[in-house]
Structures are given as C-alpha cells and as structure tokens.
Amino acid sequence: MKVLRLVLHLPFDHADVAAGVNHALDVYLDALGRGPEGLSDWRDVEGEDDVFPLEGEGWDFIRSMLAPPTGPRFLDDIPEEPFVRHRVKKQFDRCVELTGGAGYGFFYWARLPWRTPEPDAMSLVSFSWPTESLEAHGAEASRALMERLAALMPYASGHAGLAFYSPNVWGPEVASIHEEALRHPGLDVTHGERHLGVRVDGVHWLNFLGPEVLGRVGGTEALCARLHAPGTTVQALEGGRALVALGPAPEAGDVTRGDTLPAYRELARVLEPWLLPCPETRVWHGCPPGIARRWGRRFLD
C-alpha cells in the first residue's frame, strides 16, 4: 500500500512540543473525521506491542501519553532507577502509534529528555493519508493541510511525499519492498531519522527547512538561484523557515521507464553537503549487500 506522508523532525523534548503535537492531532482528526473509518487502532508500545481498537479507553491512554509531563523535567532528576532504565531500553520518552486500515496513520516519538540531549537526537511526528485521499481532494488541498500541520511545530526540517505504508513507526519490512523502492525513487520507506540534527533527511515532494538548516544552505535566495527545474518553487515561511516544493503534486518516478525525477535529483545535488549520509554499515536485512546505500543515494548516483 502507498500513502501520502508528512514527517517533521523536532529538536525538542516532549515538554516543549506537547501542546503543538496535541493541536496538530486535532487538526488532522478534524480533516479526516473522528470515526473508525479514519484512525481505528492503537499500538501498546509500553506493553506487549499488541494492537487494540481505538475506542474510549484507548483514547484516554493516548491523550495521557500526549499530555504535558508532570514532575521532573529531565531523566537525570528522576530517582526511580527502574523507570529510567525502562525509558532508556525503550529509547523514547513518549511514543504513540495510531493507524487506520485505509492508510491513515499518526506516529509520535519523543526523544529521551536528558539535561544534555543526545547529539543530533530528534523527536518525530508523522501523519499519513491514503493516496485515494490525494486523488479525491487534489494535491493543492493536501499540501495546504500539511503546511497547516507543519506550521504548528518547531521543526528543524521535515518532508512530505509518497511513501510505503507501515503499521508502526519502524517502517515496512524492506526485504519485501526493496526492488520497488529502487524502481520508484519518489517513494519513501521510513518515518524519519531519529538522529538527524541540522542535516536533511533526503529529498521529497515537499521539503520543509527550519531556520538553522535554511541558514546552512544559504537561505531562500540562494536556493532560488540554484534550482531551475520546471515546477520547483521556493517559498519563504514565517519564523525564518522555507518550503521547497518539487512540482504541483508528488511523484513516484519509474527508473525502468527513464523517469528519474530530475527535479528531485537537482535538489539533491544542491543539498548534498547537508544531506544525512547513509552509513556504510547500514544493512537492510534480507536484501542484497549495498541496497540500503543505493537507495540512500538514489538521487545522487
């Protein structure tokens, strides 16, 4: 299944973004509807990782997870060692995974709240829609909703475009999709990197750049001067941010037919010094050697 997905990288702890995440979830729910035809299930990531219907008690638990924290702000100040060890083992402060059978999804991952944060550690939030929603409402309306959601978040960077569906924040089983992923470079396979810092997590249909990232790439004028592909736009946003859009609608591409997405490749070349490199040691289990790196450099090689 393919979906349209928005991913935002937040360089903050849950205490700093709880209000924005809750507001964004409400905006998302208002747009898709609050019945089971939208989000219908939640994953108990604190327990046995079971999936349950998203009903009254489930919503109570989700809202408690998304509520602003009470008590000590940092793990360093919590005296209960078992609680701290549990958080460190899980590798998140809060995690919410909501899905719907049609392809809707809301995922939130809050980084561990240390007094001195882990280097480059990010909190993540993502929103997914079935491609049928894109077809029904049009790319312009879908983009407007994603811009509205992004405006609620203090992101360092973010992106939106076509992606493989996954029922959890870890992403799909790549062994079953790697050939299709290499054939269609416009399809993303992840919900974002959790150690990204001020680098950029690949090239996509919509590319949101926060103030620090935008400053590193030279600002909106520098981007405008270097991007010439038809349909590419660079839009200045409030708060010293920018949005680079690669055409009026997202594209999957198809390298077997020569559709290599030249606008995506142009932006990748411009952003290459700031793109998150694919580690040499990264392996996609069940795939031939080097596949992960080939996918990570699909717009550069």
pLDDT at 36: 79
Q: Is the separation of the CB atoms in 217 and 182 below 8 Å?
A: no
**Residues 208, 8 contacting (CB under 8 angstroms):** yes
Residue by residue, pLDDT tens for the chain (301 residues) are 899 999 999 999 999 999 999 999 999 999 998 877 889 999 988 877 789 999 888 899 999 999 999 889 999 999 888 889 989 999 999 999 999 988 999 999 999 999 999 999 999 999 999 999 999 999 999 999 999 999 999 999 999 999 998 877 777 778 788 999 999 999 999 888 889 999 999 999 999 999 999 999 999 999 999 999 999 999 999 999 999 999 999 999 999 999 999 999 999 999 999 999 876 656 778 888 888 889 999 999 8
How confident is the model at residue 268, as a pLDDT?
A: 98
The parent domain of residue 20 ranges over 2-296
**Packing angle between helix 56-66 and helix 14-32, nearest 10 degrees?**
140
Domains of the chain: total: 1
Do 121 and 112 meet the contact criterion of CB atoms below 8 Å apart? Answer: yes
User: In this structure, what token pair is assigned to residue 103?
Assistant: 């392809």
Q: Does a structural domain hold residue 243?
A: yes
Give burial (CB, 10 Å; 0-12/13-18/19+) of 229: middle
Residue 255 CA to residue 264 CA, distance in Å, equals: 13
- β partners of residue 124: 9, 109
Longest dimension (CA), the chain: 60
3-state class (DSSP) for residue 216: helix
Give the pair of three-digit tokens for residue 201.
């997590």
**pLDDT reported for residue 279:** 66
Helices (H), 176-261: 178-183, 211-216, 219-226
- Give the contacts of 135 (CB within 8 A, at least 6 positions apart): none
pLDDT in tens, 195-252: 999 999 999 999 999 999 999 999 999 999 999 999 999 999 999 999 999 999 999 9
**E strands, the chain, in order:** 2-10, 41-43, 51-53, 94-99, 105-110, 123-130, 157-164, 206-209, 232-237, 241-246
Containing H/E element for 239?
none
Whole-prediction pTM = 0.95
Residue 301 resides in a domain: no
Measured CA to CA, the distance from residue 256 to residue 197 in angstroms comes to 34
Residue 281 is predicted with a pLDDT of 57
